[in-house]
Structure 1
Amino acid sequence: MSAHAQTVAEAPRGGVARTSRRVMNLSHFLRQAARRLPAHIAFVEGERTVTWAEMDARVDAMAAELAARGVVKGDRILVQSKNCLEMFESMFAAFRLGAVWVPTNFRQTPGEVAYLASASGASVMICHRDFPEHVEVVRAEAPAIREVIAIGAAPSGADYGEIVAARLGEKVPVADVEHDDPCWFFFTSGTTGRPKAAVLTHGQMAFVITNHLCDLMPGTTEQDASLVVAPLSHGAGVHQLVQVARGVKTILMPSERFDAAEAWRLVQEWRVTNMFTVPTITKLLTEHPSVDQFDHSSLRYVIYAGAPMYREDQKFALRKLGKVLVQYFGLGEVTGNITVLPPYLHDPEDGPHVKLGTCGFERTGMQVQIQDDAGGEVAPFETGEICVCGPAVLAGYYDNPEANAKAFRNGWFRTGDLGHMDNEGFVYITGRASDMYISGGSNVYPREVEEKVLTHPAIAEVAILGVPDPMWGEVGVAVCVPREGQSVSEEDLIAFLDGKVARYKLPRRVHFWEALPKSAYGKITKKMVREALAERGLI
């Protein structure tokens, strides 16, 4: 499936031909906020505050520069940056031109980001000054990148701040877009470990924003405030885009290093009402002593996603914060829109009225079905693959027909997660169809890391799998077989991997065995490795 959807004239049974599906350009959300709330604070970054009118003007200025540099509708703009105002603005500048925003996880290595540049076909890179090596490697390995703009003065490219200052006051017409025009390449990995670009479109994302306001944060207005505690490149970016739709101020943490006390201080100072988190962050926030030192009574919605939360952690958080937790289950491909467990269904005490282990019920406008291997719906409480359909599902993977063929069946998107549904429609995740595990809210695909391990001259075989961890949800454990006559320590192997894959993908433990268990066909199976680890008392 191409990122650029073909619009085909058709005459449905009703007799009305549809030749196009014009929709609102998502950047219009920012313009709406600027018109309605020009003097209201839009963004807070340390001592820096920006109003909606100022932010809209800054986005126009950057969009004008990008247009002058040849960016047109459909072009891809790669963004490598930690959370900051300029990174967030780059989303709207891309949307305004009808271009596609391609954010990376700022923790990824230069080589990983270079691959994303090539895979997306990006022609422009916006990069924070803290990542000069990323620019160097991207220029070398992705020659299609013709322009680089630096956030902060840096020799790697034109200065973002100087550009905005020079072009303030210029107006850019908002590009006309249709429902299936791409706006965001949301990179996600597959079982091969190679990242794939999930194509999110203007029409799809308009539904997602509406759905988030309906299911996750009902009643949200410009009187609210939202604290960012996760990278804007992924789920947190979707969450903050939702805030713009209602004129909600966004407050950034002062650095990428998580600081629970600072987070609670900001909650008190700005009367924060919502935040998007993962279970690990929620656990860190609620177990830190500072939770009792600052006033957090303004909180209405603490939304967590990315992984299930241990029940004991959930109960502890509820006792500290009250019934403000909101869980949702979703993938980047479905932009979080699969199930929701709202605050009233989160209870701090166990009992017959509590549905333990559920990730909630279907999101508004979405349908979930548990299917067998043939695509048939299974009975309640029977395990199968969790599949979903509805307006929040991605348009497809960019330039990847093989991945599209595997991901869709009879119009249903296959999540790769296993689970069941009860008689009331509540969904329970019971396992994964793949070997992927989730560590601290981030997906980790073992094969990618295994391939890097096998580049070490002393390693002959390896298997990596996720095991439960009270802090991170899951962490990686590697079981390695050294080459004959060779040896390597756990510390040396992890040091060898550092820089070759993002740090959150590094295994936390490494065991060395003489051989890995294999099936009758000579295949290393993760199930057998897990059983062997358990037999040895290692998990």
Structure 2
Amino acid sequence: MPTINDILATGDDNAVAISGLDRDDLTFAGLRAHVNNTVLRLNMLGIGRNDRVAIVLPNGPEMASAFVAIAAGATTAPLNPAYKQDEFSFYLDDLKAKAVVVEAGSDSPAVAAAQSLGIPILSLTTRPEHPAGLFELESPDGYAAEPCASPGASESDDLGLILHTSGTTSRPKIVPLTQTNLAATARNVATTLALDPTDRCLQVMPLFHIHGLMAGVLAPLRAGGGVFCTPGFDALRFFGWLDSVKPSWYTAVPTMHQAILARAARNKEIVGASKLRFIRSSSSSLPPQVFEELEATFNTPVIEAYGMTEAAHQMTCNQIPPGQRKPGTVGPAAGPDVSIMSESAPTLLAQGETGEVVIRGENVTPGYENNPDANAGAFDDGWFRTGDQGFLDEDGFLTITGRLKEIINRGGEKISPREVDDILMDHPAIAQVVTFAMPHKTLGEEVAAAAVLREGTEASEKDVRDFASERLAAFKVPRKILFLDEIPKGATGKLQRIGLAEKLGLTD
């Protein structure tokens, strides 16, 4: 199945493909017809294969179907609707977008950004009587389309999706993903999770991020199953959706799981009646304590996976029962080849040795766009360097010890913030924690942590430091611990270590 069109061929005509709030369901027959009509419409507007279409839409069935339908005949570039005009201007120019899709009547700053760059705006319209995900694309008044250079359905080597890296420490890099890349990951996720047509995913992840697009949308469609598209994650509404939608699974980042757990006790009846076959977690490390609480609360397996944009999402994944699940690991290879390489040379390391995680396979991007320096540093002897540090155990399960850029260098002592997180999460008063580096005049970097306390509990900085001192070497114990109502997160809900010291005023 090398293209999105091939992926969509799996589902039974009458099976539900996409659902949404207060809308009729869209069947696979309806979705396939909609995809074909959308590609024809794009071709009429002069947009074809490998032309870039930015999508600025809120989460929901139209965002999901727009990604699928546009990627079937062009290159999609979903952008975070929360960006400001300057950010939209940067991304639209960098992408060389041929059009921007927004909701009809949208007041998004993307509109002004596109207008300033002379990029046509396509208005997405829906009708209440139409099924969820069905839409039409309207061109602006006076739009004169040039003939489409490459009409028709996308082929396996065409680009289906373009995303930017987060750019935490450098200018965001463009990650192009081919139809083959996308199809490979959809297959890998569906196979790893043993998805079938009876499964229904509750899609809560942002759809401008690889996690939601691949695991939350394409993988279930590839299995012939359904996707219920929410307006985005909302811990207060989650249990209502769980009750009414009756999904067989959902996928989320750890902070979302923690927010769900914080409200689970108030929704015991819904939790007890839920039909979840499993819960999936990815995009950042799931603390073992959260893993265990999730499994105990929902009485279902928690499957932790490891993914990144450059791999079109999934690289490794713990196994569905009766396979193994190892809390604290991200499982064995689940699609691409996975190994550990020396950080300083293209030498693969032995089982148990710690080094940089490397991957290769048909899901891996062909390379950053227009960035030879980045490609030279990322690709080594046929392997892609992920920038993550870890090791493989005797069963081939991968443990991530941290991002190489996040490792704290305290006067020459290297400290994994993940290791400190795991210890601090055992403190009975701590609900959430993130360990990070803060500047130090003589050591270069010192260990700091930000924590959120469990409701109704108390703890002092000394309490937590004493707790850590009994379990960690002295140089790993945080010298500064801040208690916050909420830890700052990125756009996808992930806790971000890099830059946190500055955000919290610890750089003076």
- Band the TM-score falls in, shorter-chain normalisation: 0.7 to 0.9
Structure 1 residue 277, shift from structure 2 partner: 0.6
The answer to whether the aligner puts 1:60 opposite 2:36 as a matched pair is yes
Structure 1 residue 138, shift from structure 2 partner: 3.2
Equivalent residue of 1:186, what SS? strand
User: Which of 411, 421, 427 does residue 392 from structure 2 map onto?
Assistant: 421
TM-score by length of 1: 0.69
The answer to whether the aligner puts 1:341 opposite 2:318 as a matched pair is yes
Q: Deviations over 1:95-144 (max 9, x none)?
A: 332x101111223333222222111111110123554222102332x34x
Which residue in 1 is equivalent to 2:332? 361
Structure 1 residue 26, shift from structure 2 partner: 0.9
Which residue in 2 is equivalent to 1:82? 58
Query: In the alignment, residue 279 of structure 1 is paired with which amino acid?
Result: P
Return the alpha-carbon distance in structure 1 between the equivalents of residues 403 and 154 of structure 2. Answer: 37
User: Which of 190, 195, 216 does residue 172 from structure 2 map onto?
Assistant: 195
Which runs of structure 2 are paired with 1:237-316 in the superposition (5 Å)? 237-239=213-215, 240-253=217-230, 255-256=231-232, 258-288=233-263, 289-294=265-270, 295-316=272-293
Return the alpha-carbon distance in structure 2 between the equivalents of residues 465 and 184 of structure 1. Answer: 38
For the 8 Å contact 2:125–2:136, the answer to whether it is kept is no
Structure 1 residue 70, shift from structure 2 partner: 0.6
Equivalent residue of 2:376, what SS? helix
Which residue in 2 is equivalent to 1:532? none
User: Which of 88, 109, 125 does residue 133 from structure 1 map onto?
Assistant: 109
Which residue in 2 is equivalent to 1:226? 201
Equivalent residue of 2:255, what SS? helix
Structure 1 residue 466, shift from structure 2 partner: 8.5
For the 8 Å contact 1:267–1:296, the answer to whether it is kept is no
Structure 1 residue 269, shift from structure 2 partner: 2.2
Return the alpha-carbon distance in structure 2 between the equivalents of residues 323 and 163 of structure 1. Answer: 42
Q: Specify whether residues 426 and 471 from structure 1 end up closer, same or farther in structure 2 by C-alpha distance, changes over 3 A only.
A: farther
Q: CA RMSD in A?
A: 4.0
For the 8 Å contact 1:197–1:397, the answer to whether it is kept is yes
Return the alpha-carbon distance in structure 2 between the equivalents of residues 110 and 296 of structure 1. Answer: 45
Return the alpha-carbon distance in structure 1 between the equivalents of residues 156 and 255 of structure 2. Answer: 36
Equivalent residue of 1:392, what SS? coil
Which residue in 2 is equivalent to 1:16? none
For the 8 Å contact 1:370–1:420, the answer to whether it is kept is no
For the 8 Å contact 2:39–2:153, the answer to whether it is kept is no
For the 8 Å contact 2:359–2:384, the answer to whether it is kept is yes
Q: Deviations over 1:294-352 (max 9, x none)?
A: 145411121100111112211111111123211111211112332111244999xxxxx
Return the alpha-carbon distance in structure 2 between the equivalents of residues 394 and 136 of structure 1. Answer: 32
Point out where structure 2 has 5 or more consecutive residues left out of the alignment: 128-133, 139-147, 408-416, 422-431, 438-444, 455-487
Equivalent residue of 1:337, what SS? strand
Which runs of structure 2 are paired with 1:9-88 in the superposition (5 Å)? 24-33=2-11, 36-38=12-14, 40-52=15-27, 53-88=29-64
Structure 1 residue 371, shift from structure 2 partner: 2.5
Return the alpha-carbon distance in structure 2 between the equivalents of residues 390 and 465 of structure 1. Answer: 37
Return the alpha-carbon distance in structure 1 between the equivalents of residues 23 and 268 of structure 2. Answer: 27
Moved more, 237-246 or 292-301: 292-301
Structure 1 residue 469, shift from structure 2 partner: 4.2
Q: Deviations over 1:162-213 (max 9, x none)?
A: 548xxxxxxx998354433211112213464322221111112222111111
Return the alpha-carbon distance in structure 2 between the equivalents of residues 403 and 209 of structure 1. Answer: 26
Number of corresponding residues: 425
User: Which of 353, 362, 367 does residue 396 from structure 1 map onto?
Assistant: 367
Query: In the alignment, residue 69 of structure 1 is paired with which amino acid?
Result: L
Q: Specify whether residues 148 and 300 from structure 1 end up closer, same or farther in structure 2 by C-alpha distance, changes over 3 A only.
A: same
Return the alpha-carbon distance in structure 2 between the equivalents of residues 232 and 278 of structure 1. Answer: 13
Identical aligned residues as a percent? 22
Return the alpha-carbon distance in structure 1 between the equivalents of residues 283 and 494 of structure 2. Answer: 18
Equivalent residue of 1:330, what SS? strand
Which runs of structure 2 are paired with 1:135-534 in the superposition (5 Å)? 135-140=111-116, 142-143=117-118, 145-150=119-124, 161=135, 163=137, 175=152, 177-190=154-167, 192-215=169-192, 217-218=193-194, 220-234=195-209, 235-239=211-215, 240-253=217-230, 255-256=231-232, 258-288=233-263, 289-294=265-270, 295-344=272-321, 355=326, 357-435=328-406, 467=449, 469=451, 510-511=504-505
Return the alpha-carbon distance in structure 1 between the equivalents of residues 397 and 314 of structure 2. Answer: 14
For the 8 Å contact 2:18–2:226, the answer to whether it is kept is yes
Which residue in 2 is equivalent to 1:113? 88
For the 8 Å contact 2:340–2:354, the answer to whether it is kept is no
Q: Specify whether residues 269 and 400 from structure 1 end up closer, same or farther in structure 2 by C-alpha distance, changes over 3 A only.
A: same
Equivalent residue of 1:127, what SS? strand
Return the alpha-carbon distance in structure 2 between the equivalents of residues 79 and 464 of structure 1. Answer: 41
Query: In the alignment, residue 78 of structure 1 is paired with which amino acid?
Result: A
Return the alpha-carbon distance in structure 2 between the equivalents of residues 174 and 66 of structure 1. Answer: 9
Q: Specify whether residues 130 and 296 from structure 1 end up closer, same or farther in structure 2 by C-alpha distance, changes over 3 A only.
A: farther
Return the alpha-carbon distance in structure 2 between the equivalents of residues 471 and 187 of structure 1. Answer: 34
Structure 1 residue 247, shift from structure 2 partner: 2.5
TM-score by length of 2: 0.73
Return the alpha-carbon distance in structure 2 between the equivalents of residues 466 and 228 of structure 1. Answer: 34
Q: Specify whether residues 343 and 96 from structure 1 end up closer, same or farther in structure 2 by C-alpha distance, changes over 3 A only.
A: closer
Return the alpha-carbon distance in structure 2 between the equivalents of residues 79 and 193 of structure 1. Answer: 24
For the 8 Å contact 1:107–1:503, the answer to whether it is kept is no
Structure 1 residue 362, shift from structure 2 partner: 1.5
For the 8 Å contact 1:228–1:251, the answer to whether it is kept is yes
Q: Deviations over 1:269-310 (max 9, x none)?
A: 232101111111112112313441314541112110011111
For the 8 Å contact 1:188–1:197, the answer to whether it is kept is yes
Return the alpha-carbon distance in structure 2 between the equivalents of residues 136 and 61 of structure 1. Answer: 28
Query: In the alignment, residue 64 of structure 2 is paired with which amino acid?
Result: F
Q: Specify whether residues 365 and 126 from structure 1 end up closer, same or farther in structure 2 by C-alpha distance, changes over 3 A only.
A: same
